[in-house]
Amino acid sequence: MKKAVYPGSFDPFSNGHLDIVERASKLFDEVHIVVSNNIFKKTIFTVSERIEMIQACVGHLPNIHITSYDGLVVQYCQEHQISIIIRGLRNYNDYENEYSLFQYNKDIMPNVETVLLFPSTRNQIISSSAIKELVEFDCDISKYVPKSIAETIVQKMKSKKL
């Protein structure tokens, strides 16, 4: 059985993330979406809220497992006998970051490989930070996030402003 992990902060989960998850679910028998609490990012949503949003978006995919983890992704891989990390790659800035992560991960856990998936054309510009900015300025985000969670994202961000 080929298992892979798709890690990220997913704050919030976007159509770009969903695109990667749906495609990965066709490539691997089991995909673990691991929600992290990145200490370098200021998040809007709690880990449990992010997990709930992801569950609302990927329920149609039977081979997806969603969880959170506070350690390194390669440690999660070792604990769950996973040898593949999935990462999305939108642009050159992503490439530099992902290449560094790949090197560290390979050094720590040589048997874990990183597989890069490029976004579909319609999702190349989507980023969680751009979605947050659009909400901040009362713009429609429905083209960038799954419809099932769009209102949840807007309401949470509006309530945080109060």
| Cα–Cα distance for residue pair 9/25, rounded to 1 Å | 19
Q: How far apart (Å, rounded) are the C-alpha atoms in residues 51 and 58?
A: 11
DSSP string, 49-83: HHHHHHHHHHTT-TTEEEEE-SS-HHHHHHHTT--
Whether 83 and 74 have beta carbons less than 8 Å apart is answered as no
SS3 3: strand
Q: Which residues are catalytic?
A: 17, 41, 90, 128
